[in-house]
Each structure stands twice: as C-alpha cells, then as structure tokens.
Amino acid sequence: MKEASPTEPIGQNLIKLISNVCFSVFVFSVLIFTVIAITYQPPDPWLQSSKALTRVFTEVENATFKIDGSVLPTGEDVGIAPVVSPSAVVQITEASIEKSEEKMVNLSSLPSCDESLKTVNCSDPRVLIAIEKFNLKIFKSIVFLEYQTPVNGSKPNECDVAWKFRNKKEKSWRKYRDFRRFRIGIGENCSYRVTGANGWHSGINARRPRPKLNSTKSTGAPKASLAIRDDEINDTIPTVGSEAAFRKGRYLYYSRGGDYCKGMNHFLWSFLCGLGEAQFLNRTFVMDLSMCLAATYNPSNKDEEGKDFRYYFDFEHLKETASIVEEGEFLKDWKKWDKTHKKKIPIRKVASYKVTSMQLKRDKSTIIWRQFDAPEPENYWYRVCEGQAAKYVQRPWHAIWKSKRLMNIVSEISGRMDWDFDAVHVVRGEKAQNKELWPHLDGDTSPGALLEKLKGMIQPWRNLYIATNEPFYNYFDKLRSQYKVHLLDDYKELWGNTSEWYNETKLLNDGRPVEFDGYMRVAVDTEVLYRAKTRVETFYNLTKDCKDGINTC
C-alpha cells in the first residue's frame, strides 16, 4: 500500500485555513455594510448633508441645543428655486430699455421739445428711459422689476418716480418699493438725461396715497404715522371652510411640547420637523401662531409669551408653500363638528415620538394627534424626525422666509445708504467678558484695535454699518474719524410709534403695541450685514479666538 505524502496534510490544512480566513473576512464585511446601511442618514433637501445642516442651523447634543443667539439662514438666504419663476417676473435691463427706445423711434406722436424751455414733461416716456438707464448704472446690486410713470417734482426740472425691486443677494422674489426725485436735463435732439438724484424715498409725489391710521380728533394729541401699508403682505389666517370640508380633511396636530420658550433655532428645527412629517403623511399641519420668545432675546432676561409667528416669519409664503391651518380655527371647527354630529371625528392619538412616521403613513383617521407629555428631552418635537424617520421626513426649509415687515426695514436701512456700504460684525456682550473662553476678544474688538484692523480692509470715508450686540451706542465713536458710521439705533424711527412697522404689528396684536425685541434686532442687523459690499467678521477677521471658545476652531 502506497504511503501518503507527508506534505498533503499540510497543504489541506493550509487551504482550510485560507478558506476560513476568507469566509471570516466576508462575514465581517457583510456585518459592517449592514451596520452602515442601518445607521446611514441621507442628506436633507438643501445645500449640504444632514450632519452639516445640523451644524449650520443648530448643534444637537444629547437632545439639547447649544444656542449662540445667532439668526439662522432661511429660505430666502440660500440657493433654493424661487416660488415665482424668474421668467415670470419682468426685469428692467439694458436690453429691455433698448427695445423701448426702438419702439419710440417709430412713433410719430412723440411730444415735441423746445430746447429753450426749462420745464420737463415728466410723462414723456423718454424721461423714464433716462431714469432707468441712470438707475442701472448706479445701483449694481438691485434688480429693477417695474416702474410707474414719472410725475412732476417740486421744481420744473424735477420728476418723481416709484419702482419695485429686489436685492440680488436675496434669493426670494419678493418685491420692495422705492420712490425718488430726479433732476432732469435736456440735451441735444431733445434727449433727456439725469443730472442728479435725491436719496431713498425722496420722490414723495410718486408714493402711494397714505391712509390715516390711528389719527386723533383732538388738536392737542399727537397723530400717529400716516404710514403706507404694504399691500403685498397677506398674512390673514386661513379658515377650513364648511363642515363637510373639515370632515374630508386630513390633519396632523402637535400638542405643545418642551420646545416652547426655547431658542429660535430650536423652534425652527422642531417646527420644520412637524411640517415635514405632515408633508410626508400628505396631511394639513395644525400650527399655533402664538410663540414664546426665549429669555436670551429679551432685555428682561425672561421668557415672553404671546409673540406672533408673523412678527418674525413670512406667513403668506408659508401658506403658499405648505398645507397649514391655524390651531384656533382648527379647534373651533372640531368643536363645532362634535356639537352638531353624533358620530365623532376619527382621531389617532400618538403618545410617543417613537411611533414613527412610516407607521402612521396608512392611518385613515381624520386627525393624527401627537402628544408630547413626557419630560424633557423626550417631549421635543424634533425627536419625531430622528433615527429611521430622517430617511423619509425632510424639513422644508424653503417654506420659511423672514417677515416681510422686518425685511422692509432692512431695505430701508440699505436704501438710505444707497446700497453702497461696507459692514463689520462686532461680537461682544457676554463673550467679551468671558476671558477664560475668549481671552483676546475684548481687546481685539476695542475701538482702537477695530480702527487699525479696518484701515487695512475698508477704504476711508465709506459708509460703514456696524452689526453688533454691544449695548453702548458711543462705543464706536473712534471709528467716526475715518468712516461714516451707521448703527441699528440710528434708525429707531423705522420701528418707533410713527412707523409703518409699528402700525402693522399693532394690528396683528389686537391694537396693542409690539416691542421691537432682541431677535428682531439681530435679524435686521444680520440682513443688513449680508447686503454689504465688503463684510468683516469678528472671528477669523478681527480676532484669533475661536467662535465657540478655546480649541474649537
């Protein structure tokens, strides 16, 4: 009998060993892939990944939020497709002006001109063309959308004209309004040219009629502003309609949770989670317009209830982009139905955020009522969108724009500087006092240090807007030796008791005055800063300290 080769067992053992190793690698790879597939969360429908977005809008740590008091970017600040297509908006461009001129050449009924006359016919279409050309040349950051026919100014050679516009840095297609006074000269061949222009809102003869608001009959009492209402704002509360319409609807209702009285970034993160779930479930979201402003935004350092969502955000835009109903109207219709019908409205009460959106997708109940009665942080709305739900529920950031009333103030401030200004963001406040986390911030943002830093970045005697949380108005006086300094408090009349903003928000608040609070101040400051030609930031420009403290850069 032939003996087996002594190498055969070694070869067989080696093959078995290699096979076992390969199989182990395969099993381990499958395990890793499975873990990745389970834990992977796809990007939100916006600029960056979900993780990056979380870092931009807020930082989540153990279901709590870090708040730095900053204003979050909203839909009109980022590159999202506008609600109104650009092609649907008529823009005034050099090409459109040339077409208008070509049409006029063929018109035999154009007004004649006597060069010896000094009176300008403001209704002559050639006057408007001269003004359009002038504006395109001067205001590079503005998109002009439509003009009204010029009217006479206060002198024979003056014309007042109004137009609508938007800023190129704002991604929304909301329209703002300006009216100015122009000095018109007559050149060769009866051509018109603009020889000079006055400032923002100077063309008072071209403004809309101003209804008297809150005027008093008493001769001794002061009159409120004869301010113009922005007729493009429609933030009325929609109603459900008939009982039949209410019954046919499908609603997602969130009870108030631990998010109430938290910072605005926390509020938006949670609110858009609820709105996103409603869209995923193809339901109407029931929203509470009454908000609580966190203490960090109030001089009293106390939470303030009774704030209206419409003070801060564009409710009209939200109505156009999402299916919503106001909570008060919803509860009123629900109560009315239950009183008049024996058969109650089908309700699905959901006591825990752990019941996922996917589990509720096929639910036929008229109302899905999520209740957030657990202790914090289990009662935060945004918990609904965590875990597996993040793959399906997407936050509709495009639905949130800042309030048009606040943006009108932003346009007013920018317009008064003729849209030609630079800005510096100076962060001080509590951070400047905390030498442990920000050892150099106080010194680096002192008036002398600021002046030296800005000399190398901004030309002297430019308009310089300072967006800051520094409470002392005269703190920046040293910069006035080199720049035309502008601070938010220079424009107090824009929200004072004779302003359009004051009258409009007062109407929203049942006739009671509304405070221009800390969040509104930061929102306006931020948006004006955003429109500057040169923008200087505190961190990485003025100081080497890190934004979130030592060793966080």
Domains along the sequence of the chain with CATH: 86-206 (no CATH), 238-399 (3.40.50), 404-536 (no CATH)
At 275, the amino acid letter reads L
pLDDT value at residue 16: 72
Signed CA dihedral, 423, 428, 431, 435: sign only? positive
pLDDT value at residue 114: 57
* Cα–Cα distance for residue pair 383/390, rounded to 1 Å: 10
- Evaluate whether 349 touches 371 at the Cβ level (below 8 Å): yes
Give 401: exposed, middle or buried? Use CB within 10 Å, 0-12, 13-18, 19+: buried
Q: State the DSSP code for 366.
A: S
- Evaluate whether 83 touches 172 at the Cβ level (below 8 Å): yes
pLDDT value at residue 424: 97
pLDDT value at residue 457: 95
pLDDT value at residue 453: 95
- Evaluate whether 385 touches 277 at the Cβ level (below 8 Å): yes
pLDDT value at residue 31: 67
Q: 180: number of CA atoms within 13 Å, CB side?
A: 22
Helices and strands (DSSP H and E) totals, the chain: 16, 18
pLDDT value at residue 118: 62
Coil, strand or helix at 332: helix
Strand partners of residue 251 = 284, 367
pLDDT value at residue 59: 41
Structure tokens at 39: 């834990």
- Evaluate whether 58 touches 262 at the Cβ level (below 8 Å): no
Structure tokens at 20: 């076992």
Sequence-separated (6 or more) residues with CB below 8 Å from residue 352? 374
Sequence-separated (6 or more) residues with CB below 8 Å from residue 271? 259, 287, 381
Distance of CA 220 to the CA centre of its chain: 41
- Evaluate whether 447 touches 479 at the Cβ level (below 8 Å): yes
> Mean pLDDT, consecutive 10-residue segments, the chain of 553 residues?
52 70 70 54 36 42 43 68 50 79 60 60 92 94 93 94 92 89 84 92 86 42 44 81 84 96 94 97 96 91 95 95 95 90 92 96 96 94 95 94 95 96 94 94 96 95 96 96 97 96 95 95 94 94 91 83
- Evaluate whether 465 touches 524 at the Cβ level (below 8 Å): no
Angstrom distances, CA of residue 204 to CA of 95, 126, 364: 29, 21, 58
The backbone region for 237, taken as left when phi is positive above 0, alpha when psi lies in -120 to 50, beta otherwise, is beta
Q: Would you call the peptide bond into 111 cis, given omega within 30 degrees of 0 as the criterion?
A: no
Instruction: Give kind and range of the element (H or E) at residue 18.
Output: helix 8-39
Structure tokens at 452: 């030296």
C-alpha closest to that of 312 among 267, 279, 253? 267
Angstrom distances, CA of residue 210 to CA of 139, 279, 508: 27, 41, 19
